[in-house]
Amino acid sequence: MENDNDEFSKELNVAVRVVHMVCSLCQKVQKQLLSSNNSNQIKSKDDDSLVTVADWSVQATVSWMLSEAFGGQNISIVAEEDVQTLSEPESSAQLGMVVSAVNECLAEAPKFGLKGPNEALGATQVLEAINRCNSTGGPVGQHWVLDPVDGTLGFVRGDQYAIALAMIDDGEVAIGVLGCPNYPVRDDSLIKYSQQCPVMSEMSSREEGCVMYTRKGSGKAWMQPLIHSDKRLELQNSARTIHVSSIDDPALATFCEPVEKTNSNHSFSAGIANTVGLRKQPLRVYSMVKYAAIARGEAEIYMKFARAGYKEKIWDHAAGVLLVQEAGGVVTDAGGTPLDFSRGIYLEGLDRGIVACSGLKLHEKIIEAVYASWESSNL
C-alpha cells in the first residue's frame, strides 16, 4: 500500500482490512449454505430480490468497524440492506445467525490489524449497526458506499460475488475496494472457469480469492490474495499492482456482461458486439467481478444496457468504476459522459447504459456503435 502520508491512506488501509475480514465471513456462510442447502439463510425482500445472512452480517460488521474508526454515530454510510425484513418476528432464526456471524467475524479483527469490540454485540446492537447505513450520500462531505454482497444470486449458487466498499468525497469516488472470494488470483482464471460452463463454475477450494483496491489519483490499483485463517494480514508484502489489458483489437477482446436478463438487454449488447467486431462469446458474470476482470487485464469490455425505468444504484458501481479507471481503463455512460456519484443513491442522468473498457480505442468504437444502433432498439 502507498505511503501513509498520501490522502485517504488511513481510510484505504482500514477499508482493505475490513473487506478482508468480511470476505472470510462470506466464505464461511457460503460454505454452510452450500453444504446444508439451508434455506433459512435466505429471505426474499419486497422487490422479490434475495437477501442472505451474509448480506446483513457483512453490513453490520462493516458499519461497526467504520463507525469505530471514523467518527462514531456521525459517519455517513450508504448501503443496500435495511433491517425491515430482519426485524420481523418470523426472521428470528436469521437474526440469530447474523448476530453469531457478526461476532465471530469481529472477534478475528486483531488478525487483520484492527480492534474489535470488548464484548460480543447483542441483537439490538447488530440491528443498529445495519440501520446506521441509511445515508443517501450527496455532493458534499464523505460518504462510505457499501454493497455487502454484490451478486447475491451468484453467492447462493456457489458462483461469483463481490463485497464492494467505496468512499465518496465531495461527490467523487476517492477509494474503492472489491473483495472477490471466488475469483482466484492466478491469471486467466475468469476465462478458464467460464469456458467450463456458461456461467462461472464453483472455484476449487484449493485456490485463493482476492481483494483489489485503489485510491483516486494514484494511477495504480493493487491486488492481493485473501489470507488463510491461520495467518495475519500483511498488506505491504502480499499486494501487487494490476493494470488493464493492452488489447485494442475488437476481434481479440473479451466482453463481460451480467448473467441475469432482468436489468440488462443481452440482445442489444450482442448487436453492439457484432457491430464493433467482437468475435468471442460474452462472459456472463455475476457482480462487480466484471469490473475486477477489466482492472486486472482478463477482459477488455463490460457493457450494461438496462431496460427503461431501471435506475442504477451507486453501490453497484462505485468501487468497480474507480478500480478500472486507476488501473488505466475508461468508464462512462453510453453517451460517453463520466458517471455521477454525487446525486444520491442512484446514478441520476445516466445516458442509456454503462460502458467500461480497457482503453480509449475500444471505448470510442462502442460509443459510436451505441449511437448508430439506439434508434432501432426497443430499450
Which residues does the annotation place in the binding site for Mg(2+)? 80, 147, 150, 316
For the chain, the first-to-last Cα distance in angstroms comes to 43
Active site residue 82: no
Distance CA 27, CA 4 (A): 30
Which residues does the annotation place in the binding site? 80, 147, 150, 316
Distance CA 303, CA 289 (A): 13
**Burial group, residue 149, by CB count within 10 angstroms (0-12, 13-18, 19+):** buried
**The three cell numbers locating residue 255:** 466482453
Rg of the chain, C-alpha, whole Å: 20
Distance CA 161, CA 366 (A): 26
**Which member of 55, 159, 254, 333 is catalytic?**
55
Strand partners, 167: 144, 175
Q: Is 8 left (phi over 0), alpha (psi -120 to 50) or beta?
A: left
Size of the chain in residues: 379
* Residue among 130, 160, 135 at smallest CA distance from 145: 135
150 neighbors 161 (Cβ within 8 angstroms): yes
Q: Give whole-number Cα distances, 108 to 103, 235, 368, in Å.
A: 9, 16, 50
Active site residue 6: no
**Which member of 152, 214, 254, 332 is catalytic?**
152
309 neighbors 167 (Cβ within 8 angstroms): no
Task: Indicate which residues carry an active-site annotation.
Answer: 55, 152
